[in-house]
A and B are shown apart, each in its own frame.
Chain A
Amino acid sequence: MRTDGLNFDNIPPLSIPYGFFATAPLFGVLAGLVLLFQPQALTARWDPAALALVHLLTLGFAAQIMLGALCQVMPVVSSQPIPLSRTQALLVRGCISLGTVLLSLTFLFPGPILFSLTLAAFVIGFGLFISRLIQALIKIRPAGHTLVSIRLAAFCLLITLIAGVILLWWRSSPQTAPLAPILNTDQHALWGIQGWGLLLVVGVSFQVIPMFHVAPDFPARVQRWLPGALMLSLLLGTVLDGSAAIALMALSKLLVLGYCALASRHLRQRRRKLLDYTVRFWQLALGCIALSMVVNLATLGWPELPNRLPLAELSAILFGFGGLLAVIFGMLQKIVPFLLYLHLQRQCLTQPEKLLTLPNMKQLISTARSKRQWWLHCTALCGLLIALWLPLLTPLAALLLIADFVWLGWTLHQAFALYRQHLN
């Protein structure tokens, strides 16, 4: 049996995942600034500033963290690292960062030049990353349940990006657009959030909830069928029309609701009951995702409701900020200190006397810091929800959003500073 393809020890250099993690909060701050100066962005979904805000958060923040985390997690769950060198990772990060800023500008000032530059940056950045990810994913046999989710999520990301590029092409330079949009804006958002975002969260939760919190494993049947069922209902709901599509969309919301209930039960049954803000972030996220599904189901059942209430925005804030972003914030509280510790420990293997002086995870990111992050995130979430009904409060919500991301960026910076201090 060949074992030389196994790279258990091939954890990527720290600069690859940490680079993505350290860059991402800047985009959260930028999103907050957009909301502060363009408060209408919260409720006017077709407003250019609203489109910029959403993409700063989804591409600039969430996608960058997810790419960084994938670089770290692939060798652990599959023994196959993503074959990305330091320089290539820097190129991916640079292009996605630049592309996100250019994209936001393209929304504000549509035109062929900005669009071409955005397209070029994303094709290089995402193209390089996705091609390398696929290269790693096809080598893995047999794939575990988490890997199936990662594969499906990567497929959804690809569809979302292609559909997004075509939509943007039509918006910026309709006369040169090569083909009609394959998905409308709602479907593009759905594939991005419920496809790429949620499938990744579901797949990761199957691993990390039992692992980090000593909770029971998710039932094998759920792990085997849920990601595929979510993907299939999304696909059929997109290609079919009329009542069949509505029924399938409703089914996918019910599946997500079922997942949230199950994951919450597993968290409650965890045997590691210590105070842990990652658990609290998970609980918040599962509650918000479930609420957002209830709002979506209400909209499917009573299509006239959104004319009276800002339900699309409510659902987006609950799912995006209260759900996906909360999972990311919670996971970073564990992943980052572990990553820094792991690299410190590896560097000290030849100097055992140094090992005893290494900071542990809670010294790298203290519980008090995580607690503050949790409160800031909850407060910013409440601020955004209240501002939906009291638009006068939007600037306040924007400031809370900025504070949430500044604290995250500062926490990561402080942890890294402590790492550097011990490295020398």
Chain B
Amino acid sequence: MTSISEFMTSDHRRCDEFFNQAEEAVSQGKWDEAQQGWSEFQQAIEHHFSMEEQVLFPAFEQATGSTAGPTSVMRMEHDQMRQLFAQVGQALGAKDADTLLGASETLMILMQQHNMKEEQILYPMSMRALPDPDNTLNEMQQC
């Protein structure tokens, strides 16, 4: 059976793929394609955030008895990324490729270092801390 770590890591890669398609379409001036890629990315990543913010993080906080630990930093980083989504969205509306690619580069690095913390530390730690990780994963998949 898939673990939380494997499932969420592969979901990160799925989001990267949409992000990539949107960014590449912008660099080639294909704005319609970019718009479609970007909305697919936003849907995918917001779904990913919901699985974490609504199921995984509360379960982790309950199991460890702490809401001020790593999950609060992860939530803050989600908000930081959402601010960059807004900037990219604005630039997409204005068809401003330079601003968009600058903001998307920033978002990409922010997102990747966030993913690295989750994949290397938080997910493995959740699987050890949660009383029934398979059940939590099930709930996340139904989110």
Contact = CB atoms under 8 A, between A and B. Distances in A.
A380 interface: no
Contact of A274 (B27, B87, B110, B121): B27
A360 B116 contact: no
B42 interface: no
A334 B109 CA distance: 9
Contact of A338 (B80, B102, B109, B120): B109
A47 B7 CA distance: 58
Nearest to A6: B70
A241 interface: no
B30 interface: no
B50 interface: no
Interface in B56-98: 63-64, 66, 69-70, 73-74, 76, 80, 83, 86-87, 98
B73 A8 contact: yes
Contact of A361 (B24, B73, B102): B102
For chain B, what secondary structure do more than half of its interface residues adopt (helix, strand, loop), or is it mixed? Answer: helix
Interface stretch (A110-118, A191-199, A206-214, A253-261): A206-214
Contact of B101 (A9, A144, A274, A337): A274
A139 interface: no
B134 interface: no
8 contacts: A6-B69, A8-B74, A8-B121, A214-B16, A274-B23, A342-B110, A349-B76, A356-B86
> Which 6 residue pairs are nearest across A and B when measured between Cβ atoms?
A362-B102, A360-B102, A3-B69, A8-B73, A9-B73, A211-B112
Interface residues of B, number: 38
Given A8-B74, A362-B105, A272 B23 contact: yes
A78 to B, nearest CB: 8
Contacts of A272: 20, 23-24, 108
Interface of A: 1-4, 6, 8-9, 76-79, 144, 207, 211-212, 214, 271-275, 334, 337-338, 341-342, 345, 349, 352, 355-356, 360-363
B120 A144 contact: yes
B12 to A, nearest CB: 10
A363 B48 CA distance: 29
B117 A274 contact: no
B55 interface: no
B35 interface: no
B132 to A, nearest CB: 15
Nearest to B118: A8
Contacts of B23: 272, 274
B24 A338 contact: no
A117 B20 CA distance: 53
B24 A273 contact: yes
Contacts of A338: 106, 109-110
Contacts of A334: 109
B11 to A, nearest CB: 15
A144 B128 CA distance: 16
Nearest to A348: B83
Contacts of B128: 1
B135 interface: no
Contacts of A360: 87, 99, 102-103, 105-106
Interface in B10-56: 16-17, 20, 23-24, 27
Of the listed residues B16, B17, B66, B108, the one surrounded by the most CB atoms of chain A closer than 10 A to its CB is B108
B2 interface: no
A212 B102 contact: no
Contacts of A3: 64, 66, 69-70, 125
A349 B83 CA distance: 10
Nearest to B103: A360
Contacts of A207: 116
B113 interface: yes
Contacts of B115: 211
A355 B83 contact: yes
B61 to A, nearest CB: 9
B106 A361 contact: yes
Contacts of B69: 3-4, 6
A241 B126 CA distance: 50
Contact of A6 (B106, B108, B121): B121
Contact of B70 (A79, A271, A337, A356): A79
Nearest to A145: B120
Contacts of B64: 1-3
Contacts of A363: 102
A270 to B, nearest CB: 9
Nearest to B105: A361
Contacts of A342: 110
A212 B63 contact: no
Contacts of B121: 6, 8, 78-79
Given A76-B116, A362-B105, 12 more contacts: A1-B64, A4-B66, A8-B70, A8-B117, A78-B120, A212-B109, A212-B112, A271-B20, A274-B27, A275-B27, A355-B83, A360-B105
